[in-house]
Amino acid sequence: MSCGLYYAVSGFRCQERELEILSHNLANVNTVGYKDDKPSFKGVHPGITRSMTIETPADVRRFMLNQKITMSYPGLSHVKVDHSNGQITRTGNQLDVALVGPGFFAVDTPQGERYTRMGKFSLNEKKELVIHEGGYPLKRKAEEKETGTEGEEHIRIEGTDVSIDRDGGISVDGNQSDSLKVVDFLAYGDLRKVGDNLYENRGGKENEVMAEGCEVNQHHTELSNVNIVQKMIKMINVARVCESYQKVIQSLDEIDTRATRDVGAVA
């Protein structure tokens, strides 16, 4: 494969990947608490492996000169999550809760503790407070949990009138019962999306802190922070770039085919 063709294919794959991410964002524009994914791209240099210690731009240039490399190829660097707050909307449902400010609800899953901004809750058959998607139970603050019973970290609602204050304290029929566990993180870069609108903290317990300056707002939900107009415009532009790359790939492939045929005919 020629360098030009390899560059065009690499560029097309990057645009194709960005199109997939844009489509996923648009598909979740109505998902409560969803956060926008934003891809970043970088130049990939042939011959540079992960085992090599090349940390600065000067090291990259020095390596390219030594190896006589004159160009780099586009590649996906990483996907960054935009954790800015979405619009808060009133629903009137007593089990709908929105977080205003930095913070996440702690959720108990079969894979361990996970985190979400999705504050649309319901009750399961055990009368445990669970997130709407997946049915995973919410966790209570450590100082509120009981001991010696199964499911001791979960919140049970035994009553009809549920009130949740701005600190996450839960009262049922006028009696204080539990408190939602709301946490924040020192490094958001250590959070990874794991599906079901959940995040995994890969930074360990030292990355987890109690949320400060975060208010719990009952009867409301936080909408997705995806800007549908911007994403639609971006998708149109990316689709056009994909078409351009396809034309370049076809042209280069035709040139290679013609060159091979003509050289063979001369021989």
Return averaged pLDDT per consecutive 10 residues of the chain, 267 residues in all. 69 87 94 92 60 48 52 74 94 94 94 94 91 86 52 82 94 91 94 94 93 93 95 92 84 74 60
Task: Check residue 224 and give its pLDDT.
Answer: 95
Task: Check residue 7 and give its pLDDT.
Answer: 73
Task: Check residue 236 and give its pLDDT.
Answer: 93
Task: Check residue 8 and give its pLDDT.
Answer: 77
CB atoms inside a 10 Å sphere around CB 152: 10
Residue closest to 186 by CA, chosen among 114, 115, 103: 103
Task: Check residue 115 and give its pLDDT.
Answer: 96
Task: Check residue 51 and give its pLDDT.
Answer: 43
**Model confidence, pTM:** 0.78
Q: For residues 162 and 211, is the Cβ–Cβ distance under 8 A?
A: no
- The label of the residue with tokens 């160009």 reads 71
Q: Which helix (H) or strand (E) holds 263?
A: helix 228-266
Q: Cα–Cα distance between 9 and 15 in angstroms, integer?
A: 10
Q: Where are the beta strands (DSSP E) in the chain?
A: 36-44, 73-82, 88-90, 97-100, 104-109, 112-116, 121-123, 129-131, 162-164, 169-172, 175-179, 182-185, 191-195, 198-201, 208-210, 215-218, 220-222
The terminus-to-terminus CA distance of the chain in angstroms comes to: 22
Task: Check residue 111 and give its pLDDT.
Answer: 92
Q: Cα–Cα distance between 58 and 146 in angstroms, integer?
A: 58
Q: For residues 222 and 88, is the Cβ–Cβ distance under 8 A?
A: yes
Give the CA count within 13 Å in the CB-facing half-sphere of 173.
Answer: 4
Q: Which helix (H) or strand (E) holds 17?
A: helix 3-27
Task: Check residue 266 and give its pLDDT.
Answer: 52
Q: Cα–Cα distance between 192 and 217 in angstroms, integer?
A: 25
